[in-house]
Chain A
């Protein structure tokens, strides 16, 4: 088991390195970057002083070097003008557009993004697992139809519309705060109990909005999977042993039907991040989605590069977690290498 973990971790690190190279190449694929665009703009309007300042920026961030050197300097594997000073050393880079270090911009946002996504993920599984199970066990009964109806509505409603509706009615009837992830007065404050509570109440609507469609999809698939499993001989065996109905479903077929969803945890993370851009804009959530969009538009390369890498890292972490969970849950995976008898 320890060997398995070690192997997976090494693979993950190697993948992350490969991904970082890919990310860097891709964000440099379109011609130019934020600084060169600015220089071109200033040249045409004849601002000589600005051009000089921008040229200094290019020097400072080695943007005049060949791409592979730029990459090495970015991740901190080669010395730049200020020596080894890249991602490995904890310097996330400089945002040209905002004229602030990336770390400063992203700092709290990255944490909040993780929190929103974790909440959405938990919501997805907490809602989908019981509903999907009930729908499968009581297939073609009124409770199945209602669960399906909710599922279809969740799948079919555009998220931003759901967001607007929920914000309106939430504020009106339940006094749920509108927009943002915390009350204004806590922004920039250190974390404390009150701030935490404020974040929790602000989380309710975004979690539901972001998680609903994913929950609906998971629910439909769980229902189909579980209905297959319920007809398997080992369920009949359990019945023949006299195992009571609830244990019979939860202990055997449900565990079997869960595998694909555990394997999906890694895939859900990027979906939730990219899918929540629109929601974040509509609900003015300080998450990474809008920042990524804006930095890609303005070719703010270090900014977009870091955000992309961060999301990839989350994905890989999710996959590592699902690999470990799968191995714990399913002996067929855990013992794949062991000799049979």
Chain B
């Protein structure tokens, strides 16, 4: 017999605006959740998954209100409807019986208070124990969620902890009041892949140990496959599919679910091997390093310099794609900045850019006219299409501005070019007069790509071009970039934190960690025959919507640590790293010989 559900959501509808003129954004959502089970609310942005979660907590933003439905929480003295409790009663329930884990631990913690005081505040607010006892329990909880030094984490401010530790502290804060229901809103989206794997494992362990019911809000079906017992798929505020996770993921009943599963990036199982063609390199980089000096203070010794990038070399063949993959702090963005001359590298580096017609350029010493010419030929697409487009310029102005700056074409020619660009990236030229806010995230990224193409560049640097987008949109944008590459003879330098995303596009993959390339090679080498423990950790940590391929935490643990914890022969000896050694043709690994 099934257990009585702890949480029962019945016919929940949420709308924005005043009665009479309101828009319904969540429509008739129902589900129930038994203790000890995890239910995933899955959907893309705008699907209403977060609003549903917040409605349970009574945390709806200003302007939103529940128009129908009940949210029943089973309590010892019978079920209560969370939507119809007084603010005082809700305060008693929040934190003590229902708690929440937020997406961005950095902004969800106050920067002005220590982590410990924010965690133990839950106990103090609910009058569960005195200050000394609260401190003790907070320390125990921090240790339980895997903080290596609980006392230090307790006394630290949020910005002093790493992203993974911050999210652990967030989980400790959600757990300390011993709630029976936890709502986790994209709990690992802001984390690096390897950290995500570890935190997901922690969440699973904690909810099992404490017999929690968990509502997991996520857009990532890979996370769902690893975590959830049940799935509710939401689209535009409506439930399109509901059921056991294994059933939904292996035999999706609704075409939308099927599309979501197909769009999720995967680590490929086999990749066709490219025949080695004649080389015509558009970009040659050798011995690229970047050191940032430590911050000087007026008194006292200067901090030690930061080695953002050490001895980076690469070849980018014309018409092909090199992918640089790494987590935050790996130096991948530094590579992009140096190659585009946004910053100058340490002396001794060479960056040669070989345009199709014209003289090769030495990028580090370009100046004046030649630098302008280089900037025309090498363009960049940024990560966040919401921030990268000025909200006060029409699309027409956005697309013609690069031409105006470089003094190209007449007014009517520029207009024609803008219309052509719009059509080329799959948008209607009729929409040139609109402003960016009228477009969705994927459409904006198409506009950003069109802008990068305006000057007929030969090299595009793509800095995480899809990581701000929904999965289904991400697949479309990647496809568009693949088309453009062949059609316009573009070469890409593709920078990403996600190994699975680059798989479709890359001809050569370089995996970076702490400013150094640890492994590079054709995608088939990297995915089918990864040699370096860090590459293996990255592959093992990528969640996929496949119930039979769960995260392999031993592989993650082995490679995701600091370089000097890597097993022989890969470990670093202090600052000294081993060399890149060719293990197969074109496949190089950083290891001792």
A residues in contact (CB < 8 Å) with B = 3, 7, 11, 232-234, 236-245, 247, 251-252, 255-256, 329-332, 335, 337-341
CB distance from B137 to the nearest CB of A (A): 15
Taking a contact as CB atoms under 8 Å apart, the answer to whether B95 and A341 are in contact is: no
Taking a contact as CB atoms under 8 Å apart, the answer to whether B59 and A236 are in contact is: yes
Interface of A is mostly: helix
B residues in contact (CB < 8 Å) with A = 57, 59, 87, 91-96, 99-100, 102, 104, 107-114, 121-122, 125-126, 152, 156-157, 159-162, 165, 173, 177, 295, 297-300, 303
Taking a contact as CB atoms under 8 Å apart, the answer to whether A332 and B111 are in contact is: yes
Taking a contact as CB atoms under 8 Å apart, the answer to whether B125 and A242 are in contact is: yes
CB distance from A117 to the nearest CB of B (A): 29
Taking a contact as CB atoms under 8 Å apart, the answer to whether B108 and A242 are in contact is: no
Taking a contact as CB atoms under 8 Å apart, the answer to whether B160 and A341 are in contact is: yes
The closest CB in chain B to the CB of A259 belongs to: B112
Taking a contact as CB atoms under 8 Å apart, the answer to whether B110 and A241 are in contact is: no
Taking a contact as CB atoms under 8 Å apart, the answer to whether B108 and A234 are in contact is: yes
Give 22 A-B contacts (CB < 8 Å), ordered by A residue: A7-B298, A7-B299, A234-B109, A237-B110, A237-B173, A239-B94, A240-B95, A241-B177, A242-B96, A243-B95, A244-B125, A245-B87, A251-B113, A252-B113, A330-B111, A331-B157, A332-B112, A332-B157, A337-B300, A337-B303, A339-B303, A340-B162
The docked-state distance in angstroms from the alpha carbon of A11 to that of B298 is 10
- Chain A residues near B92: list those with CB within 8 A: 242
CB distance from B282 to the nearest CB of A (A): 39
The docked-state distance in angstroms from the alpha carbon of A339 to that of B160 is 8
Report which residue of B57, B121, B152 has the largest number of chain A beta carbons within 10 angstroms of its beta carbon.
B121
- Chain B residues near A236: list those with CB within 8 A: 59, 102, 108
Taking a contact as CB atoms under 8 Å apart, the answer to whether B95 and A242 are in contact is: yes
- Chain A residues near B299: list those with CB within 8 A: 3, 7
Taking a contact as CB atoms under 8 Å apart, the answer to whether A341 and B298 are in contact is: no
The docked-state distance in angstroms from the alpha carbon of A239 to that of B113 is 16
Taking a contact as CB atoms under 8 Å apart, the answer to whether A241 and B112 are in contact is: no
Taking a contact as CB atoms under 8 Å apart, the answer to whether A242 and B157 are in contact is: no
Beyond A239-B59, A242-B125, A329-B112, 9 extra complex contacts between A and B, CB < 8 Å: A240-B95, A240-B100, A241-B122, A241-B177, A242-B92, A244-B125, A251-B113, A256-B112, A341-B160
- Chain A residues near B87: list those with CB within 8 A: 245
- Chain A residues near B93: list those with CB within 8 A: 242
CB distance from B94 to the nearest CB of A (A): 4
Taking a contact as CB atoms under 8 Å apart, the answer to whether A330 and B121 are in contact is: no
CB distance from A14 to the nearest CB of B (A): 11
**Which residue from A242, A329, A335 sits with its C-beta under 8 Å from B91?**
A242
The docked-state distance in angstroms from the alpha carbon of A223 to that of B108 is 22
Tell me the total A-B contact number using a CB cutoff of 8 A: 96
Report which residue of A241, A252, A341 has the largest number of chain B beta carbons within 10 angstroms of its beta carbon.
A241
The closest CB in chain B to the CB of A6 belongs to: B299
CB distance from B292 to the nearest CB of A (A): 15
Taking a contact as CB atoms under 8 Å apart, the answer to whether B126 and A242 are in contact is: yes
**Which residue from B94, B112, B156 sits with its C-beta under 8 Å from A341?**
B156
The docked-state distance in angstroms from the alpha carbon of A10 to that of B113 is 30
**Which residue from B94, B152, B156 sits with its C-beta under 8 Å from A241?**
B94
Pairs A-B, 8 closest by C-beta atoms = A242-B95, A242-B94, A241-B95, A240-B100, A233-B107, A234-B110, A233-B108, A242-B91
- Chain B residues near A239: list those with CB within 8 A: 59, 94
Given that A7-B298, A233-B102, A341-B165 are contacting pairs, would A244 and B109 also be in contact in the complex, using a CB cutoff of 8 Å? no
Taking a contact as CB atoms under 8 Å apart, the answer to whether A335 and B95 are in contact is: no
- Chain A residues near B162: list those with CB within 8 A: 340-341
Taking a contact as CB atoms under 8 Å apart, the answer to whether A252 and B57 are in contact is: no
**Which residue from B110, B114, B173 sits with its C-beta under 8 Å from A252?**
B110
- Chain B residues near A245: list those with CB within 8 A: 87
- Chain B residues near A332: list those with CB within 8 A: 111-112, 157, 159
Given that A3-B299, A252-B110 are contacting pairs, would A241 and B173 also be in contact in the complex, using a CB cutoff of 8 Å? yes
- Chain B residues near A338: list those with CB within 8 A: 160
The docked-state distance in angstroms from the alpha carbon of A292 to that of B401 is 55
CB distance from A244 to the nearest CB of B (A): 6
CB distance from B90 to the nearest CB of A (A): 8
- Chain B residues near A256: list those with CB within 8 A: 110-112
- Chain A residues near B95: list those with CB within 8 A: 240-243
Taking a contact as CB atoms under 8 Å apart, the answer to whether A335 and B157 are in contact is: yes
Taking a contact as CB atoms under 8 Å apart, the answer to whether B125 and A243 are in contact is: yes
Taking a contact as CB atoms under 8 Å apart, the answer to whether A255 and B112 are in contact is: yes
Taking a contact as CB atoms under 8 Å apart, the answer to whether A331 and B59 are in contact is: no
The docked-state distance in angstroms from the alpha carbon of A310 to that of B537 is 65
- Chain B residues near A251: list those with CB within 8 A: 113
- Chain A residues near B114: list those with CB within 8 A: 331
The closest CB in chain A to the CB of B157 belongs to: A331
Report which residue of B104, B157, B295 has the largest number of chain A beta carbons within 10 angstroms of its beta carbon.
B157
The closest CB in chain B to the CB of A243 belongs to: B125
CB distance from A284 to the nearest CB of B (A): 45
The docked-state distance in angstroms from the alpha carbon of A284 to that of B390 is 55
- Chain B residues near A232: list those with CB within 8 A: 107
**Which residue from A7, A11, A240 sits with its C-beta under 8 Å from B99?**
A240
Given that A233-B108, A332-B159 are contacting pairs, would A240 and B57 also be in contact in the complex, using a CB cutoff of 8 Å? yes
CB distance from A57 to the nearest CB of B (A): 44
The docked-state distance in angstroms from the alpha carbon of A11 to that of B102 is 43
CB distance from A155 to the nearest CB of B (A): 28
The closest CB in chain A to the CB of B90 belongs to: A242
The docked-state distance in angstroms from the alpha carbon of A331 to that of B156 is 10
CB distance from B273 to the nearest CB of A (A): 44
The docked-state distance in angstroms from the alpha carbon of A338 to that of B152 is 14
- Chain B residues near A7: list those with CB within 8 A: 298-299
Taking a contact as CB atoms under 8 Å apart, the answer to whether B112 and A335 are in contact is: no
Given that A237-B109, A242-B125 are contacting pairs, would A3 and B300 also be in contact in the complex, using a CB cutoff of 8 Å? yes
Taking a contact as CB atoms under 8 Å apart, the answer to whether B121 and A241 are in contact is: yes
CB distance from B52 to the nearest CB of A (A): 15
Taking a contact as CB atoms under 8 Å apart, the answer to whether B109 and A335 are in contact is: no
The docked-state distance in angstroms from the alpha carbon of A237 to that of B170 is 10
Taking a contact as CB atoms under 8 Å apart, the answer to whether B160 and A340 are in contact is: yes
The closest CB in chain B to the CB of A244 belongs to: B91
The docked-state distance in angstroms from the alpha carbon of A154 to that of B122 is 42
- Chain A residues near B156: list those with CB within 8 A: 341
Given that A335-B160, A337-B297 are contacting pairs, would A240 and B112 also be in contact in the complex, using a CB cutoff of 8 Å? no
CB distance from A301 to the nearest CB of B (A): 34
CB distance from B557 to the nearest CB of A (A): 19
Taking a contact as CB atoms under 8 Å apart, the answer to whether B102 and A237 are in contact is: yes
**Which residue from A240, A330, A340 sits with its C-beta under 8 Å from B94?**
A240
The docked-state distance in angstroms from the alpha carbon of A234 to that of B57 is 15
The docked-state distance in angstroms from the alpha carbon of A245 to that of B99 is 17
- Chain A residues near B303: list those with CB within 8 A: 337, 339
CB distance from B364 to the nearest CB of A (A): 31
- Chain A residues near B161: list those with CB within 8 A: 341
- Chain A residues near B102: list those with CB within 8 A: 233, 236-237, 240
The docked-state distance in angstroms from the alpha carbon of A329 to that of B157 is 13
CB distance from A92 to the nearest CB of B (A): 32
CB distance from B561 to the nearest CB of A (A): 15
CB distance from A243 to the nearest CB of B (A): 5
CB distance from A226 to the nearest CB of B (A): 14
Taking a contact as CB atoms under 8 Å apart, the answer to whether B59 and A240 are in contact is: yes
The closest CB in chain B to the CB of A230 belongs to: B62
The docked-state distance in angstroms from the alpha carbon of A173 to that of B176 is 59
The closest CB in chain A to the CB of B103 belongs to: A233
Taking a contact as CB atoms under 8 Å apart, the answer to whether B125 and A241 are in contact is: yes
- Chain A residues near B111: list those with CB within 8 A: 234, 256, 330-332
The closest CB in chain A to the CB of B162 belongs to: A341
The closest CB in chain A to the CB of B183 belongs to: A240
- Chain A residues near B152: list those with CB within 8 A: 341
Report which residue of A232, A242, A337 has the largest number of chain B beta carbons within 10 angstroms of its beta carbon.
A242
Report which residue of A11, A238, A240 has the largest number of chain B beta carbons within 10 angstroms of its beta carbon.
A240
The docked-state distance in angstroms from the alpha carbon of A82 to that of B157 is 59
Taking a contact as CB atoms under 8 Å apart, the answer to whether A233 and B159 are in contact is: no
The docked-state distance in angstroms from the alpha carbon of A337 to that of B95 is 35
Taking a contact as CB atoms under 8 Å apart, the answer to whether B112 and A330 are in contact is: yes
The docked-state distance in angstroms from the alpha carbon of A340 to that of B92 is 36
The docked-state distance in angstroms from the alpha carbon of A341 to that of B159 is 9
